[in-house]
A = this chain, B = another copy of it.
Amino acid sequence: MENLVDQFHFSWLSAFKEIGARVCLEMDELFKGKGYGKPLGKGAGGDTTLVLDRKAENAILGILERLHADGEQFTFISEEMGERKFGREDAVILADPVDGSNNAKYGIPFFSTALVMASGRKLSDAALGYIINIGTGDEFWAIKGAGAFKNGIRITTSDRTDLGMVNIEAASPRRDLQKAMPLLSCARKVRCLGSTALDLACLAAGATDALIVPSASRSFDFSAGWLIVKEAGGLLTDLAGNPLDNIPLGLERTTPFIGASNKTVLDKALQALGGCS
């Protein structure tokens, strides 16, 4: 484990935690005022950029610029501003400044900041994933090979083997609910919470059994969560059950996916998508 988790990882974890604290502070200030929810135009990822997304991204950028001035080399990829080179292209920092912008904008207390540090441009290169629940301050993180943690305590996915609590992200309700209905119909309970990164954190921490994202998602939405779920013992695949390891890290929409707490639940979920058993 000494080889996997060195000072380098902990320096970045420390930076991510500083970013998390800063974003929480910015959001707290923002929600006292009236500025949030005001569209600023399209972000690089295609979504309408909101004051809150811009504020969060600037908070992240400020800290990354300081790290670069101190000698760190990396390329920063973020939902709003796109890609910015800080010296190296093979080390990537990927950010979703506010995952669950609609919740933040409307006032549903379930949104987050998600950050990934990767040694290359594929999902399997993700080395450190970090997600913070901006409403509650809960922090989830994982280092490749070293496990997953919530607020410093190790977490594992649930060992339940049924489709008990099934979560969905429905970017386009009509299409996505229709597509996921065979699975949702088999579930004992269903949730649709509005932040993919936090959904994955919930799956990793054993709060849910499965997650389906029927629309093609962007890697900054799920890459931090992918590593945290994986390190907590869970699985993420595309809707045919193929691993996501070779998904490119970037701004483009890549793939729909399904997450599960263990292999038994994954098999049941994939089977259910073809009709309830």
Contacts and interface: CB of A to CB of B under 8 A. Distances in A.
Given A181-B177, A185-B174, A193 B193 contact: yes
Interface stretch (A17-25, A84-92, A103-111, A211-219): A103-111
Contact of A135 (B109, B178, B193): B109
B102 A165 contact: yes
A170 to B, nearest CB: 5
A106 B208 contact: yes
Interface stretch (A53-61, A65-73, A199-207): A199-207
Contacts of A208: 106, 108
Nearest to A110: B110
A75 B99 CA distance: 45
Nearest to A164: B106
A159 B95 CA distance: 33
A192 interface: yes
A184 interface: yes
Given A109-B138, A135-B136, A207-B107, A173 B189 contact: yes
A38 interface: no
Contacts of A181: 177
A146 interface: no
A187 B138 CA distance: 30
A191 interface: yes
Interface residues of A, number: 35
A201 to B, nearest CB: 10
Contact of A207 (B106, B173, B174, B205): B106
Nearest to A133: B109
Nearest to A170: B190
A37 to B, nearest CB: 11
A189 B215 CA distance: 14
A129 interface: no
A28 B110 CA distance: 19
Interface of A: 102, 106-110, 133, 135-136, 138, 165-166, 168, 170, 173-174, 177-178, 181, 184-194, 202, 205-208
Given A106-B206, A192-B192, A192-B193, 11 more contacts: A106-B208, A107-B205, A107-B206, A109-B110, A135-B135, A135-B136, A166-B173, A170-B190, A173-B184, A177-B181, A191-B192
